[in-house]
Amino acid sequence: MKSPVQPLRIGILALGWTLVCLGSWLAGCSIDEALPSAWVLGPTSKERLAQGTQDPKAAEQEILRALESLFGTATAPHWPLGDSQPEGAKVLAQAAQTYREECSHCHGLEGYGNGPSSQFIQPKPWNFALGVFPRSAPDGSEPKLPALVTLLENGIASSSMPHFARLGKPVLMGVAGHVLLLLKRTQVETKLVDAYLQGGPGSLTPERVEGILETWSAGPQSLAQPGR
Ligand code: HEC
């Protein structure tokens, strides 16, 4: 004969599991919501616009729109003039997500080295906008993907930069690619601020923005290096 407590036990177990699942789902949500999700301008750009324009907020919006047309958003990034295959977009979005979860609290969502943890860290998390990567490209050139991946696998022993070997090579290739995308984005941001300060409101037309991108695409020697 079946014991009458059996269904009750199953019911309690089921309720328990539902609560566990709901709890972890909620925790997942709140972690994700605590992460910033929209790219903003870097501190140097903001300062230059505050000093050089009548309406810095409007200037920021115009520059952010131009940047978005080239690089997409922090959660759905793309390369300027890159192909828009759905598969490629998915890979870039996944890399951006890993960067947000693993790196942005130190390096900042935009790579300016100013994430929330950065205030507690010495030496400071690297500012990708500097355009130089002394560890992965000691000759001052642009870092190459394999060198960045090796750096991420090993971390930097003399600093709080952790190693990320646990993420595996394919994921690290994606994250390294995202670092390069952030590097380009910060460089183009500096040029857009220059152009806005020269031309004023409404000057960042699609043609102008494309022109800026062409000078950037001309080669590493054309990369701006703010703050150096
Ligand atoms: C706990 C903070 C912290 C986290 C998390 C972190 N970093 Fe770093 N990172 C640092 C610090 C600090 C340095 C600079 C050390 C120095 O100045 O020598 C650094 C340096 C770097 C550099 C510059 C290396 C060079 O070539 O000179 C890169 C690139 C980098 N980190 C990428 C990443 C990526 C990608 C992630 C996430 C997968 C990440 N970091 C996570 C703190 C962090």
Own/partner pairs, 212-217, CB within 8 angstroms, 24+ separation: 212/188, 213/70, 213/80, 213/81, 213/188, 215/191, 216/184, 216/187, 216/188, 216/191, 217/81
pTM (two decimals): 0.84
CB atoms within 10 A of CB 48: 20
Q: Please indicate whether residue 156, judged by its CB atom, sits closer than 6 Å to ligand 1.
A: yes
Q: What percent of the chain has pLDDT over 70?
A: 79
For 27-77, what is each residue's pLDDT tens digit? 444 455 567 789 999 999 999 999 999 999 999 999 999 999 999 999 999
Residue range 81-98, pLDDT digits in tens: 766 677 789 999 999 999
CA of 199 to the centre of ligand 1 (A): 36
Spans of all domains in the chain:
1-34, 37-222
**What angle, 0 to 180 degrees and rounded to 10, lies between the N-to-C axes of helices 169-199 and 86-102?**
90
Mean pLDDT, the chain, as a whole number? 86
Report how far ligand 1's centroid is from the alpha carbon of 35 (Å). Answer: 18
What spacing in Å lies between the alpha carbon of 166 and ligand 1's midpoint?
16
> What pLDDT is stored for residue 88 in this prediction?
86
| Residues 62, 205: Cα–Cα separation, whole Å | 10
Ligand 1 contacts CB of residue 162 (under 6 A)? yes
- pLDDT tens for 93-150 read 999 999 999 999 999 999 999 999 999 999 999 999 998 999 999 999 889 999 999 9
